[in-house]
Amino acid sequence: MRYNYIAVEGNIGAGKTTLATRIAQKYNGKLILEQFEDNPFLAKFYEDQEKYAFPLELSFLAERYQQLKKELANQELFSDFTISDYFLNKSLIFARKTLNDDEYQLFITLFNIMNAHLPRPDILVHLFVGVKKLQHNIRNRGREYEQRIPDEYLEKIQDSYFNYLKQQPSLRILLLDINTLDFVAYPEHFQLIVETINQDYPRGITKVKLS
């Protein structure tokens, strides 16, 4: 792979974990997966967002930071590159949409302290998938606490991603529209995504629609 540290991002149900896992397995990469299912606030948040948003976002931030600090500091000798299914900045993206202004300002202060100690990915691959397909993927993977996520929430998160990414000119961002692909069922779709990622891109956003 061309890049030493790849972060795969996208909305809930976009296929981040599946894609990162398959790339790591095929191309001898060190895989970092977000450990979110053990979060004690996640299911509660989907039942009462206003009450549990702040403890959820703080706990996610702490867990993500601790994992990335540990994994990125310990490079494996027999891996050719590192790929993760998230990057720390997603904490800001979700927090902006779930926290009130006072909570968000405190959250930013804590985030900046942690983020200063982590390396940035060489490329951020953002998987864009429409809400209808996201909901299809969410239903298929069958996590009970996700089954009642409304379309409006997914749209809000996607808008937050786009607004944030536009403000990151120093980050190399590949925005991949994969709405018409099924890289799980079709190996040629997976190979197309990998070949697209494995190109030389400038800093800022590069948009590519795959079909």
Please, how many CA atoms are within 13 Å of residue 121, restricted to the half-sphere of its CB?
26
Can you tell me the distance from the alpha carbon of 120 to that of 105, in angstroms, rounded to the nearest whole number? Answer: 22
Query: DSSP readout, 28-94?
Result: TEEEE----TT-TTHHHHHH-HHHHHHHHHHHHHHHHHHHHHHHHHS--TT-SEEEES--TTHHHHH
126 by DSSP, 3-state: which? strand
Asked about 85 being catalytic, the answer comes back as yes
- Residue 118 contacts by C-beta under 8 Å, 6 or more apart in sequence? 65, 68, 69, 72, 88
CA angle 129, 35, 42 (to 5 degrees): 75
Can you tell me the distance from the alpha carbon of 182 to that of 179, in angstroms, rounded to the nearest whole number? Answer: 8
Of the candidates 38, 85, 122, 151, the residue annotated as catalytic is: 85
Residues 135, 86 contacting (CB under 8 angstroms): no
Residue in 87, 81, 86, 105 with CA at minimum distance from that of residue 95: 105
Q: Which are the catalytic amino acids?
A: 85
